[in-house]
Amino acid sequence: MFVDSDDWVSPDFCRIPMEAAEKTGAQMVIFDLKYGGPDGQLHESKMEEGAYPSVEVLRKRLTGEVVGYVWNKLYRAELFKDIIFPVGEIWEDDAIMHILMDRAVTIAIIHDVLYYMGGHQGSITDIAFSNGEWARWVYIQRQKRYLYLKETHPELMDTENHVMTNAAAKYALELVKRKDRQGIKKVSKWLKENSVRPHNNSLKKRVAFRILKHMPSLFCVLASAGMKVFKP
């Protein structure tokens, strides 16, 4: 189990998930959390309590219905064999969560609130949001997950394509703000080389994404002009 230094936990943080693991035989247990203490905003998994095949939970992770935080979960230690958090990266939870979920056979969902996220001004994540670096790191971590799932779970790629297109488009818009045309061309090249394509996006977003993918210079011009289709 994991706890960030500026967060706090319920007295039952270890006991309740352990009992769920013993009852269900699950290799991972996911529980609920709140942002900002007992009176804070609740975040709960959008799945009913129970034990599920890991691929079902992994799909919900892709859609955001299950969060990728490393610390609102209990894990069997062997899931982490040969896995380390990438050094010097942000959203490092997301760099490994899909692998951990994939290695599990069964994942249990419980709705006990056992973790309270504190957060503080000046944290690495807070700085990343303030300076726009969040878009780059989300894009980087989504790239890793996309390539992993492309090899291991082709049945999930309809969902993952949608997520990857959104991450790429948001990062490209941040690059437009910085007038980084070379960066946008690199994004375009990667999308083409890895056959990323939109599925569930609206028509306007699909058009914008295709321009990004195949005509990055035009994307820069249109996004700089502030056309509505290019706004997040």
- CA 109, CA 58: separation in Å to the nearest integer? 12
As given in the structure block, the two tokens for residue 106 are 């069964």
Place of tokens 């951990």: 100
| Spatial CB neighbours of 55, under 8 Å, sequence gap ≥ 6 | 102, 153, 155, 156
- CA 9, CA 209: separation in Å to the nearest integer? 42
Identify the CA nearest to 45 among candidates 28, 57, 53. 57
Per-residue pLDDT tens over the stretch 27-39 = 999 999 999 878 8
- CA 71, CA 31: separation in Å to the nearest integer? 10
Q: Is the pLDDT of residue 119 over 80?
A: no
| Maximum mean pLDDT: which of 10-19, 168-177, 202-211, 221-230 | 10-19
What was the pLDDT predicted at 160?
Answer: 95
Burial (CB count <10 Å: 0-12, 13-18, 19+), residue 177: exposed
Helix (H) or strand (E) holding 41: strand 41-43
Specify whether the CB–CB gap between 33 and 72 falls below 8 A.
yes
Distances, alpha carbon 128 to alpha carbons 10, 49, 140, in Å: 29, 34, 14
- CA 33, CA 38: separation in Å to the nearest integer? 9
pLDDT band at 131 (very low <50, low <70, confident <90, very high): low
Q: pTM of the prediction?
A: 0.90
Q: Is the pLDDT of residue 229 over 80?
A: no
Across the chain, mean pLDDT equals 90
Place of tokens 């998930």: 17
Specify whether the CB–CB gap between 93 and 66 falls below 8 A.
no
